[in-house]
Structures are given as C-alpha cells and as structure tokens.
Amino acid sequence: MTLSDSIPYDYVFLGLGCGNSLILLQLEAEGMLTNKRILVIEPNQIIKNDRTFCFWMEPERVNSCFLSTLVETQWSKVHVGEKVQSLDSLRYYRISGRTLSENVQLLLTRENARIIQIKYDGIPKTDGENPQITILGEQLTASLVFDNRPPSYVDPNASETRLFQSFYGWEIKSDRPVFDADCFTMMDFNVQQEGATQFMYVLPFDAHRALVEITRFGQELLPSERAEQALLSYLTEHSIPYSIEDKEKGVIPMFSHAISVNKSSSTWINTGERAGMLKPSTGYSFERSLTFAKQVVQGIKSNREPIKSRKTRFAYYDRLLLQLLRDQPAQGSRIFTQLFKQNAATQVFKFLDERSTFREDLQILKSLPFGLFVGAAVKDMVWRSSKVFHWLTPMLLISCMVFLLQAVGQMPLVYGVLGIGMLVLGIPHGALDHLHALKKPWGWNMLRYVLMYLGLGALILGVFSLSPWGGLLLFLGYSMWHFGEADFAHWRLGRSGMAFLWGCFVLGGILGSHFHETFLILREMKVTVPFDLDAFNSFGTWWILFGGAFFIGWKRNRFMITSVLSLLILSALPLIPAFAVFFIFQHSFHGWKKLQELNTDSDMQRWIQALPFTLGACLLFGLNAYFAPFTWGQVFIFLAALSFPHVVLMATLYRKSSVGA
C-alpha cells in the first residue's frame, strides 16, 4: 500500500503538538477513531518531554473526561508574591509532556496510524472538498487535515508586541521534606530582573520533589547559563539541598500581532497556536486547546465548522500588558503581584480564562497600577489610529480616558489631571492676551492693560450683584459666542452667525445633559429657576443628537463629528469634569493654536510669558475663595469676570485675523 492509493485518509495530523494531541484524545473519547485511516506527519520524535502542561480547572470537569488519566499532580493553593491563597472550587493541574505524548503514541499504535517523521511545508490545497497533500513525491487525499504546525506572524506595528516567554527548569529531589505538596508558587519575583520580567515558578510533586523553573518575559531569550546561575542562587538562598533528576527548557511566543496563516476551512482545520489558542499575555494554551478540541469534534459530528470566539476586549487587555512588559519591564513584578494581592486567585483565573463579565473586568483593572495602564492606553490609541488619526481630537481622546477612569472609580485621578490641565493650558491660553493686545507690552501700556482687564472683570461682577439673571444671560451669551468663534476659526470655517449657533449647541449640550447639577449651581449664583427640571431629564441627550445631526448635515466637518461624539461621552460624566474637558482640551487648545500663529516662540516660552498672569489669576481666585464661601456658583461668577476681557480681546484678534475673516 502506498501513501497515495485510491482510498483517502480520514484524518491527517500535521504535527503532534498540544492542539492536535488533544483533538486525537477527544476523537477517541467520542469513539470517532474506530476503523479510520490516520496519517501523522511529525518532524520530531513522538515521545518528548520538552515542556510541562499546566492549567486550572474544576475537578468535576477533569474527572468527566480523558484528562483524569493524564493528570500527574494537582494543587489547591497558590503562592504569588507574599500571599498564599486557596483556589476554592478550582485546582491547578500538571501533565508532563512525556505523559501526554506517551498516551498519544499508544493511541496511534492501537489505531494502526501511519507516522512519517518529516517536516511538511505545504500549503492547503483542495480537490473539490477534500484536502490534498503532496509528500515524499506522492499526492494523497484526506477527508480532514488538522494543522498544528508553528505559524508565522505578520510584522508588528508600534502598538503590537513581540516578546518571548523563555523558561529553564530543573526537576529536583531533596533528601529532606522542604515543599508544601498542596501549594505551588506561580510567580516569585525575588530574582534579578535583568532588563526583563523574571520570576521563579515552583511545582512541588511531593514534599521532596519539585520542578523549579526560572521564567523570563522579554525580547531576549533566557540563556541557559544565566538560568542555571539563577536556579543555583534561588535554591541556595532557600537552603534547599537537592539533586537534579531532569531538566526542561522552552520558548513560548508572546505576540500580540496577527498570525499569518491560511484561514481554517471545514476540511483543513488549524489547531493550537496556529488557531490562536495561545494567550499572548500568559503563554497558557492548554485549557483553550482543550475547549477547542471539543468544539472541533462536535463540529465534525454535526457537519459544521467550529466557532472560535475571542472577546475583543481581552485582546486589548493583552496588548496593553505586553506593551508595558516591553517598554517598562521593571514594572512586571508590580503588576502581577498587585493582581493577585488585591483579588481572589479564582477571580484572576476566571479573568485570564476570558470568562469574566465586563463588570468583573473593571474590578480586576481597578486593582492594577492605573497610571501605567492609562499611559499605555493613550499610547496604544495614538499608535493604532495612525491611519485614522485625522478623525481624533484631544477632546475625544481625553473624554474616552476620563469616561474609563470614572467607570473604575478613579475620579480623584480625573480631577488631578484636569487641575494640571487648567494650569498648563486652560488658564495660560487666556493669560497671553497681552501678546496681541499690546504692541509694546511693558511700562504704562502694561499698567493700562491690567487696569482695563480688572475693570471689565469688575463690570461683570457688578452686573451679577445687581441682577443674577442679567449676569447669567450676559455670561452665557458671550461664552457661546466665544466658544463658537474659537472653534470656527480653528476649523477655518470663517466668522458668521453659525459660529454663535455652534457655541449655543456645545454649551447647551454640556449644561443640558446635567440639568440637576446646573440647577444647583444656578441656585448658588442666586439665579432662581421658575419651572420643574424633572421634565428636562433627557433634554441634553436629544439636544446633542438633533443639534449634532444639524451641524454635521450642514458641513460634514470631521471635527464637528468628533465634537458631537465627545459631547455624548461627556454627558455621562459629572458636570464639572465634563465642562473642564471641553474647556481645556478643545476651547483652550484651539485658543493656544491661534496664539501660536502670532510668533515663532516655543510653547514653553509662551507658557513662561503667561506665567505672571496665570499666577495673578490664581491669586485672585484665592482671594475670592477667602472672602466669599466656596461654592461652584461663586467659581463660575469668578470665571465670568475673568473671561469677559479675554473674550473681548480675542474677538478683536479674530476680527483682524485674515484666517478668521
């Protein structure tokens, strides 16, 4: 009988890695190997002990399938950092590479499978519905091909990461009991990090025997000599007498970029890493491959393709973590230690299995070093939006960031960021009026300028004291005009009444989507509202939707579209941070850009030029807070007085400007 006789093979297995091994075992468990012609093409020896397969799982699930005959060791407790936790309803299981491959070898022998020990580099080909494989100069046909060969990957971009999990371990035996046989050490970071994220992994088989392994997450592989030095130091520091019974080493890719392989079909099925079963952030694949094997076999029985589903948000979490491990490897120990310190191990494992709900995800993410992940998220957003970056604006980016921070209970961080934003951009953009209002900004000119500024501000305070409603309407009126004028000038839309309508839309969207907070501030400003606000609960949302549709239909300006999206996001935030995000990251940003057109000074030089007036504004605010009870109503009255001279001077600048004309 030759390879290419007229009878096709039922199953062809390209490679016998974990993915195909589990599919073989699942097919046998379902009674689907009987009287089947099986061909295995594997370049290496079938029986090998190149790695250890570990996974967490419910005992009842293990006992209900073929795993129960493979498991060699199990643990009910985990040690990470300084904390030991019970796994409760889970157990952590170990199957050695030798045990898995020996069982697969016995299975293949029982089923009279044909094994060819060569490397196959062919690509999927089909004759009708049947895959074709050319091997040893002959062509054969198969009903199903399971492709477990290592995949290739597309080149990563800046937001994608190419790390390796390299490990080197000793199976040791001690002449005295030194291990807790019921507790494994998942990550002990008390080792030198060497420019990567490194930790010890300890799996006790009993009180005398254990696998002790050094693992590195990094761009460079762990050299064997460095690994042996680390193992020797670790065992010496822990006063463990030992003899080495076996060694293992390996490399697992931790790649967040796409796999470059032909897509699976109903008859040529990618498995294992080739099918995306390897979780990039951890290197674990066994449980995912096991679940996929069951899906594949059920698909064969029902004549349908298996459905591989990976929730996009987990791919995003993995991408951010891998970016941090690449760019800030020294933070790896902090991240993983906090993850297990502030969460139950069972909840962490559920999250790593991608079976947690979004609410549970937020609890996990809340426990991590949030500043690190926010920075990674911002960089990731910039990197991944290189092709569509023209659609993104500072306000949209910050709106999304603040929304996420609020979702995980980090509002103090939000207020800190916005406070810094006010000092860096919000107040300084208005503290540079002297650059365009005065031809010679010094001496008597500067004195007259300051007196004019204070006088116009005092005028607004006088209006508020005489008529709170009058002051409010005046404040709203010139604010809407100024906001619309600044946006239209920046977007090169000219000066027209539509700018005022745009300002009405933006300010109305912010205030209208926060009616109750607005009402409280108005009351603090001594402005009485003679109607029931409950009827206007949804007014702001409809205002943003209909107003946004009107302006987008009018101009189809991409910046208007992103502004409308930002307003919808800001409607879900409290009023003060919502207004601050718009004021700093759209209005002040546009004003600052306008001032950049006046001279060739750097941003730092301009900020220094604004500093005396920025400090003056802060001093006036402090005096106002000292002599009057602090309320948000008083803050907005102060802002009305402070902003009025700025609005007047900027209106003059926009009128004179050829860009704004």
* 661 within domain boundaries: no
Task: Report, as an integer, the average pLDDT of 291-307.
Answer: 85
pLDDT at residue 160, rounded to an integer: 84
The angle that helices 515-524 and 497-512 make with each other, rounded to 10 degrees, is 100
90: tokens are 């889970």
pLDDT at position 126, please? 67
Q: Do residues 235 and 149 share a domain?
A: no
- For 609, residues 6+ apart whose C-beta sits below 8 A from its C-beta are 432, 435, 601
**Whether residue 188 is found in the same domain as residue 130:** no
Answer whether residue 191 shows pLDDT above 90: yes
CB 352 within 8 A of CB 284: yes
pLDDT at 553: 85
Instruction: Tell me: do 409 and 557 sit in the same domain.
Output: yes
Cβ within 8 Å of residue 441, ≥6 positions away: 434, 435, 449
CATH of the domain at 61: 3.50.50.60
For the ranges 11-25, 132-146, 436-450, 521-535, the maximum mean pLDDT occurs at 11-25
Q: What is the pLDDT of residue 661?
A: 40
Mean pLDDT of the chain: 88
In this structure, the answer to whether residues 354 and 378 fall within a common structural domain is yes
121 band by pLDDT with thresholds 50, 70 and 90:
confident
What the block records as the tokens of 108 is 């293949």
End residue of a domain, out of 347, 364, 387: 387
Note the pLDDT of residue 660: 39
In a domain, residue 498? The reply is yes
* Same domain, yes or no: 382 and 412: no
Query: Mean of the pLDDT values across residues 242-270?
Result: 88
pTM above threshold 0.75:
no
Domain membership flag for residue 148: yes
Give the angle 317-319-325 at the CA atoms, nearest 5°.
105
Query: Can you read off the two tokens belonging to residue 31?
Result: 């009674």
**Which of 146, 132, 119, 128 is CA-nearest to residue 264?**
146
* Model confidence at 536: pLDDT above 80: no
Confidence (pLDDT) at 310: 60
Task: Answer whether residue 3 is part of any domain.
Answer: no
Residue 128 has pLDDT above 80, yes or no: no
Q: Do 206 and 247 share a domain, yes or no? A: yes
pLDDT of 532: 63
In this structure, what token pair is assigned to residue 357? 């709900």
The answer to whether 185 and 202 have CB atoms below 8 angstroms apart is yes
Give the Cα separation of 446 and 209 in Å (integer): 82
> Across residues 162-168, what is the average pLDDT?
94
Domain limit, last residue, from 189, 224, 255:
255
Range of the domain at 208: 162-255
**Would you say residue 388 has pLDDT above 90?**
no
Least confident of 117-121, 134-138, 320-324: 134-138
End-of-domain residue from the set 322, 356, 387: 387
The predicted structure's pLDDT at residue 531: 65
Average pLDDT over residues 36-49: 86
Asked whether residue 4 is assigned to any structural domain, the reply reads no
Q: Are strands 73-75 and 91-96 parallel, antiparallel or unpaired?
A: antiparallel
Candidates 453, 448, 461, 428; CA nearest to 615 is 428
Interval 268-276 mean pLDDT: 91
* Mean pLDDT, range 569-585, rounded to an integer: 94
pLDDT at 659: 43
| Token pair of 107 as six digits | 């299975």
pLDDT beyond 90 at 75:
yes
pLDDT, tens only, 305-319: 666 666 678 988 999
**Taking residues 325-342, what's their average pLDDT?**
91
**Is residue 307, in this structure, part of any structural domain at all?**
no
Q: CA-CA distance, 67 to 397, in Å (whole number)? A: 48
Q: Indicate if the pLDDT at residue 213 is higher than 70.
A: yes
Quick: pLDDT tens for 94-108.
999 899 999 999 999
DSSP 146: E
Across 573-586, average pLDDT:
95
Tell me: do 143 and 279 sit in the same domain.
yes
475 and 559 both lie in a single domain: yes
Give the residue with greater pLDDT, 389 vs 355.
355
Q: Over pLDDT 70: what percentage of the chain?
A: 94
- The answer to whether 248 and 213 are in contact (CB under 8 A) is yes
Residue 2 belongs to some domain of the structure: no
CB 575 within 8 A of CB 512: no
Confidence check: pLDDT of 1 > 50 = no
Q: State how far the Cα of 470 lies from the Cα of 479, in Å rounded to an integer.
A: 14
SS3 at position 511: helix
Instruction: Kindly state whether residue 205 falls inside one of the protein's structural domains.
Output: yes
Of 376, 405, 348, give the one whose Cα is nearest residue 581.
405
Token output for 570: 């800001």
Pairwise CA distance, residues 71 & 202, whole Å: 17
| Residue 139 parent element (H or E) | strand 138-147
Torsion sign over Cα 576, 581, 582, 584: positive
Mean pLDDT of 231-246: 94
Parallel, antiparallel, or unpaired for β 91-96 and 52-57? antiparallel
For residues 340 and 343, what is the distance between their CA atoms, to the nearest angstrom? Answer: 5
Distance CA 488, CA 479 (A): 14
Structure tokens at 141: 């046909």
Report the sign of the C-alpha dihedral through residues 511, 514, 516, 518, in that order: negative
Tally of domains within the chain: 4
Instruction: Please say whether the beta carbons of 3 and 134 come within 8 A.
Output: no
What confidence tier does 141 reach under pLDDT thresholds 50, 70, 90? Answer: confident
Neighbours of 149 (CB within 10 A): 22
pLDDT higher than 90, residue 385: no
CA 212 – CA 609 distance, rounded (Å) = 61
- Map residue 203 onto helix, strand or coil: strand
Q: Torsion angle of alpha carbons 362, 363, 368, 372, nearest 10°? A: 20
CA gap 21, 28 in Å, rounded: 11
Q: What is the CATH number of the domain that holds 228?
A: 3.30.70
Quick one: average pLDDT of 632-646? 92
What is residue 266's predicted lDDT score, i.e. its pLDDT? 81
Q: What is the 3-state secondary structure (H, E, C) of 528-570?
A: CCCCCHHHHCCHHHHHHHHHHHHHHHHHCCHHHHHHHHHHHHH
Neighbours of 532 (CB within 10 A): 7
pLDDT at 391: 62
Partners of 14 in beta bridges:
41, 147
Q: 238 and 365 share a domain? A: no
Helix (H, G, I), strand (E, B) or coil at 251: strand
- Nearby residues of 4 by Cβ (< 8 Å), 6 or more positions away: 138, 139, 140
- Whether residues 592 and 552 fall in one domain: yes
* Residue 451 shares a structural domain with residue 403: yes
Residue 246 sits in the same domain as residue 265 = no
